[in-house]
Amino acid sequence: MGSSRFRNFCIIAHIDHGKSTLADRMIEATNTVSQRDMHEQILDTMELEQERGITIKSQAVRMIYEYEGEEYTLNLIDTPGHVDFTYEVSRSMAACEGAILVVDASQGIEAQTLANVYLAMDNDLEIIPVINKIDLNSARPDEICQEIEDVLGLDTSEAPRISAKEGIGIEDVLQAVIKHLPPPKETEDDTLKALIFDSYYDNYKGAISYVRVVQGSVKQGDMISFMATNHQFEVTEVGVFLPSQLPVKSLSAGEVGYIAASIKNVSDTRVGDTITSAEHGATEPLPGYKDVTPMVFCGIYPADGADYEDLRDALAKLELNDASLIYEPESSIALGFGFRCGFLGLLHMEIIQERVEREYDLDLITTAPSVSYHVTTVKGEKLVVENPTNLPPVTSIDYMEEPIVETTIMTPDEYVGAVMDLCQEKRGTFKNMEYIEETRVLIHYIMPLNEIIYDFFDTLKSRTRGYASLDYDMKGYQKSNLVRLDILLNSDMCDALSIIVHEDRAYARGRSIAEKLKTAIPKQMFEIPIQAAIGGKIIARETVKAMRKDVLSKCYGGDITRKKKLLEKQKKGKKRMRQVGSVAVPSEAFMSVLKMD
Amino acid sequence: MSMPGLYVHIPFCLRKCHYCDFVSYPNMENSIDEYIDALLTEAKLNDAFFSSRRIDTVFIGGGTPSLLSPSQIERLVCGLQSLPNFNPTEFTIESNPETITDTKLAAYANAGINRLSIGLQCHDNDILRAIGRGHTYQNFLTAYKLAANHFDNINVDTIFGLPNQTLESFRETLRQLIELSPTHISSYSLKLEQGTNLYSSFYGIDDETDREMYHTAIEMLSDTGYFHYETSNFSQQGFECKHNMKYWTGEEYLGLGVAAHSYYDGNTRTNNTDNLMQYIQMLSNGEKPTVNTITLSNADMLEDYIMLHLRLVEGIVFDDFYNKFNTSFQNEYADAITFAKDAGLITITDSSVHPTIKGFDLQNTLISEFMKKM
């Protein structure tokens, strides 16, 4: 079968607009998975994905569909939708010729959809708009089509109007894919070039690359080279996705599949890298490869210090499957031994934390997220600071720079005031605002990333009753008046609670942290002053009053086991506390400062 | 010969008090006779225990032991008296003013019971009603006066930190009691236990007021001839509850009845089933109702010793500790002693360490400090 009967595409959608459901229906309609094995959100294999209804890792599925007497091979690449994974999404798109844009018939376009559509356009994808959830009473497909035409400039005259949930219009979508999406381009050159759009670690087969073969072909026994690292391996297996792995003889230009080559380390199979032949291979890789650069950092510590080794093993195992997770050991006076971890963004951070806690049964203490600051010292040295503790003394700093992003916020117009107030509070600089519909507005702000990683998204959601959506894009670094805010407990500094903030925001943050710690730290035998300080200057103070009563219940009829159990429970609770100078601080206290007001 | 205590649990009540989470069953009076049979069977099954020891104290607790009729009490005590070496010097029964009658009191005294414990809790009738007690203060006074005709040794239980109880109200309870001059007064800080009525309806008073009440009790009772000898217990000279002291000083005791606990042979703790029907069933089959047996390690015994002795005003006496564990308390716990001393939780003398009032207030903290090594 020639590549003219291949169609490689992805689905773009905002969360909850029905991406996974549409994928499920297409898989069913093409009988790709037997009914017995079919279940909801079949492409989201991780428990966390199923639970949250999100896609974290890319996944692919090959479907066979007969149209006008011809058999077509449709490769659907399911990608994450979240801004944290923009690079991964862009590589998945580079592996496709087209995209289905799913838009909820009552909700319309969201900020995230927009970002991903632009990404698809950047990758020269042909886009088929699909209007989903037409069965809902609140559906307004005509208006939404108009919105798509106005905002995105896409023709919606032939856009399938479907209900993935009810199974309405699925054939229309499959046929539109065949009719409107182009087949892979024919290439003259048959030197192997395969684009890695994701990778996965298998305990038996090693790191497996998910690839789109752009030119040439690859089969078992071939020697291949990864162009970013120049490491070479012998192919042990190639195959396609059903979506389970099905070995095939070879993968040729235009095809989507996987390559296993007994690779020990997932960092050899980097997303965006090009696989070529070890001998007489390509000299130029496919365009678009980028090294992973973490945007958000935080310290991760075991709640029980004795679990340090287990935490290290857990991170090592997660790293096998996630090349964008970066970590190195660090230690804190308050928290002992742990790791400084770098993430693509806040969702990525949350996912990793949750997976460590869930899949490895570890309780964690995480420190406030930080970004990467550029510090220039008076001596002219340039430093990169990802941990507030490592910030040099104020006197030796010439100036500091912080990462800034352009945020795109989409909101119903009644919340414009609330959104602008929030952006202003968070040191945003207004760029412009556009109406995309009569009552929907797109607001652009330039904002410091360190304001976004704190509680921006939660606050945005709560001030707009959940209607606003957010996307952001790195815009580089800018000079800023930043200070380190330290927290002192009974006069001892607690390094794990230090944060870097803008001078103007320090007072408010200091006061809010002190207030939260006051409720999170239990009464102890003495009064505990909680102070927030910049340099030597105290800017906020709260006090935890001394404990007055801590007595056992009555010892009845010689039953001492009950009291012993109570004491042991207390003792266990104490073990989970961290000693900061003379003060015992429970794990929750470290986390409480991260919560929004 | 060892001189253990014997505890007998009577798990029956007219009604459940709103703060109570002990094992007791309201509206089960029909089972009392069967239950007494079971108790006596259990006693017989422990023949080996009794024959090698001399029972020194007996405590019939509950529940509401005074719910038993005079004849039921006679049958129970008679049964106990037929045990080998049964000749207690202190024999206590717990009672509720609601169920005390002169006939019952006479039956107790006749049977050889020589100490009566009465649950008063407080003198304010509104509060008594609010916590689910079925008696008034006047009922108590009547019962107390009857009891004083039969007993020289009477304890009255009080509770502080009750709903709507003010410091002044609690002082008044104590003043009234001091005037009656019982030989023993217990004064407990209310603990809200999960699953009780009060737990869901009352948040508890603030710690500051609770401690003011506690300190007031210590002060008022000490000023009027009562010795504070244990966290919540006060007595006139020579009237400490010998039975309870056995729990705290690590002497042996055998518990009979539902949910009863025992400690013997130096390292064995056991407890019975807390299910009344199962208890009766097991004994009618001639089985011991023990559901847990714990063999204590040396570390456990150390922990228990410290935990229990730090409830006592006498505290930990170095010689006694040395005799038990063959090691010096001062050396073993030097760090904890220094910490507790610096924190004002204990006083150190040449022969002992004992809790200060702050040490009683923060008893868990104090004990935990000494349990850290484990």
Which range scores top for mean pLDDT: A117-121, A290-294, B38-42?
B38-42
* Chain pair A-B, CB pairs under 8 angstroms: 94
Q: How far apart are CA A61 and CA A40, in angstroms?
A: 15
CA distance A533 to chain B (A): 28
Contact assignment for B247 to A554 by CB distance below 8 Å: no
DSSP-assigned letters across all residues of A54-85: ---S-EEEEEEEEETTEEEEEEEEE---SGGG
Contact assignment for A551 to B308 by CB distance below 8 Å: no
Q: Which residues of B touch A555 (CB under 8 A)?
A: 244, 247-248, 308, 311
DSSP-assigned letters across all residues of B61-74: EES-GGGS-HHHHH
Least CA distance to B262: which residue of chain A? A558
Scanning A536-575 for CB atoms below 8 A from B yields 547-561, 563-564, 566-567, 570-571, 574
Domain B298-371 has CATH 3.40.50.300: no
> Which CATH number applies to B5-247?
3.20.20.70
**Cβ contacts of A595 within 8 Å, gap of 6 or more:** A455, A516
* A122-168 per-position pLDDT tens digit: 889 999 999 999 999 999 999 999 999 988 889 999 999 999 999 99
Contact assignment for A550 to B255 by CB distance below 8 Å: no
- What is the phi/psi pair of residue A181, to 5°? -95, 140
CA distance A579 to chain B (A): 14
Q: Which residues of B touch A561 (CB under 8 A)?
A: 261, 269, 271, 294
Pick from A553, A559, A574: CB nearest B261 = A559
* A515-570 per-position pLDDT tens digit: 999 999 999 989 999 999 998 899 999 999 999 998 876 666 778 888 888 888 87
pLDDT of residue A53: 62
- Residue where the block lists tokens 């090592």: A316
Complex ipTM, two decimals?
A: 0.85
Contact assignment for A558 to B61 by CB distance below 8 Å: no
The residues with which A448 forms a beta bridge, in sequence order, are A404
Q: Which residues of B touch A547 (CB under 8 A)?
A: 207, 362, 365
Task: Say if residue A243 is preceded by a cis peptide, omega within 30 of 0.
Answer: yes
Q: Centre a 10 Å sphere on the Cβ of residue A543 and count the other Cβ atoms it contains.
A: 12
Using a 10 angstrom Cβ sphere, with 0-12 exposed, 13-18 middle and 19 or more buried, the burial of residue A328 is: exposed
Whether A113 contacts A12, CB under 8 Å? yes
* DSSP class of A497: G
Q: How far apart are CA A24 and CA A61, in angstroms?
A: 10
Q: Centre a 10 Å sphere on the Cβ of residue A560 and count the other Cβ atoms it contains.
A: 19
Contact assignment for A558 to B307 by CB distance below 8 Å: no
pLDDT at A60 over 70: yes
* A396-414 per-position pLDDT tens digit: 999 999 999 999 998 889 9
Q: Per-domain residue ranges for chain B?
A: 5-247, 298-371
pLDDT of residue B18: 92
Q: Which residues of A touch B308 (CB under 8 A)?
A: 555, 560
Q: Measured between alpha carbons, how far apart are the two ends of chain A, in Å? A: 60
Pick from A553, A557, A566: CB nearest B261 = A557
Nearest to A556 by CA among B227, B21, B116, B155: B21
Chain centre distance of CA B311: 13
- Work out the mean pLDDT of chain A and round it to a whole number: 89
Chain centre distance of CA B347: 26
Q: Which residues of chain B have pLDDT under 50?
A: 374
Contact assignment for B207 to A556 by CB distance below 8 Å: no
Contact assignment for A551 to B307 by CB distance below 8 Å: no
Contact assignment for B61 to A557 by CB distance below 8 Å: yes
- Identify the residue among A551, A556, A564 best suited for mutation to test binding to B, counting B beta carbons within 10 A and taking the highest: A551
DSSP H helices, A432-546, are 449-451, 457-463, 503-520
Q: Is B8 helix (H, G, I), strand (E, B) or coil?
A: strand
The residues with which A54 forms a beta bridge, in sequence order, are none
Whether A231 contacts A217, CB under 8 Å? no
- What is the phi/psi pair of residue A365, to 5°? -115, 125
- Residue where the block lists tokens 């029907």: B277
* A297-339 per-position pLDDT tens digit: 999 999 888 899 999 999 988 887 787 888 999 999 889 999 9
Q: What is the percentage of chain A residues whose pLDDT exceeds 90?
A: 59
Q: Which residues of B touch A545 (CB under 8 A)?
A: none
Q: Centre a 10 Å sphere on the Cβ of residue B323 and count the other Cβ atoms it contains.
A: 9
Q: Is A399 helix (H, G, I), strand (E, B) or coil?
A: strand
Residues in chain A: 597
Q: Which residues of A touch B22 (CB under 8 A)?
A: 556
- pTM score, two decimals? 0.72
Least CA distance to A548: which residue of chain B? B207
Q: How far apart are CA B73 and CA B70, in angstroms?
A: 5
Angle at B364 between CA B358 and CA B368, to 5 degrees: 115
Q: How far apart are CA A159 and CA A172, in angstroms?
A: 9
Tokens found for residue B112 = 């050889």
pLDDT of residue A428: 95
Q: Which residues of A touch B247 (CB under 8 A)?
A: 555, 558, 560
Whether A9 contacts A181, CB under 8 Å? yes
Least CA distance to B212: which residue of chain A? A548
Cα separations in angstroms, B191 against A111, A199, B171, B204:
55, 58, 19, 8
* A471-497 per-position pLDDT tens digit: 888 899 999 999 999 999 999 999 999
* B77-114 per-position pLDDT tens digit: 999 999 999 999 999 999 999 999 999 999 999 999 99
Q: Centre a 10 Å sphere on the Cβ of residue A37 and count the other Cβ atoms it contains.
A: 10
Contact assignment for B363 to A550 by CB distance below 8 Å: yes
* A500-511 per-position pLDDT tens digit: 999 998 999 999
Q: Which residues of A touch B367 (CB under 8 A)?
A: 552, 567
* A92, containing H or E segment: helix A86-94
Whether B11 contacts B258, CB under 8 Å? yes
- Residue where the block lists tokens 């309780």: A363
pLDDT of residue A532: 96
CA distance A91 to chain B (A): 55
Q: What is the mean pLDDT of residues A433-459?
A: 88
Q: How far apart are CA A319 and CA A265, in angstroms?
A: 9
Q: How far apart are CA B308 and CA B296, in angstroms?
A: 15
Q: How far apart are CA B242 and CA A220, in angstroms?
A: 87
pLDDT at A68 over 80: yes
Q: Which residues of A touch B269 (CB under 8 A)?
A: 560-561
- Per-residue confidence band for A1, with pLDDT thresholds at 50, 70 and 90: very low
Contact assignment for A571 to B368 by CB distance below 8 Å: yes
CA distance A572 to chain B (A): 10
Strand ranges (E), A87-205: 98-104, 126-132, 193-202
Contact assignment for B7 to A571 by CB distance below 8 Å: no
**Cβ contacts of B293 within 8 Å, gap of 6 or more:** B268, B269, B270
Pick from B232, B271, B307: CB nearest A567 = B307
Q: How far apart are CA A61 and CA A38, in angstroms?
A: 13
**Cβ contacts of B256 within 8 Å, gap of 6 or more:** B6, B7, B8, B9, B39, B42, B43, B46
Q: What is the mean pLDDT of residues A462-471?
A: 84
Q: How far apart are CA B325 and CA B300, in angstroms?
A: 12
Instruction: Name the percent of chain A in helix, strand, coil, to the closest 5.
Output: 30, 35, 35
**Cβ contacts of A74 within 8 Å, gap of 6 or more:** A6, A7, A9, A26, A30, A62, A63, A64, A65, A174, A177, A178
pLDDT at A429 over 90: yes
Contact assignment for B371 to A571 by CB distance below 8 Å: yes
Q: How far apart are CA A461 and CA A479, in angstroms?
A: 29
Contact assignment for B362 to A555 by CB distance below 8 Å: no
pLDDT at A54 over 70: no
Least CA distance to B7: which residue of chain A? A557
Tokens found for residue A187 = 């290439």
CA distance A567 to chain B (A): 7
Pairing label, strands B55-62, B5-10: parallel
* B178, containing H or E segment: helix B167-180
Q: Which residues of B touch A574 (CB under 8 A)?
A: 368
- Residue where the block lists tokens 């090959």: A62
Contact assignment for A553 to B193 by CB distance below 8 Å: yes
Q: How far apart are CA A513 and CA A494, in angstroms?
A: 12
Question: Domains of chain A, with CATH numbers?
Answer: 3-180 (3.40.50.300), 193-277 (2.40.30.10), 296-366 (3.30.70.870), 373-472 (3.30.70.240), 483-592 (3.30.70.2570)
Q: How far apart are CA B370 and CA B374, in angstroms?
A: 9
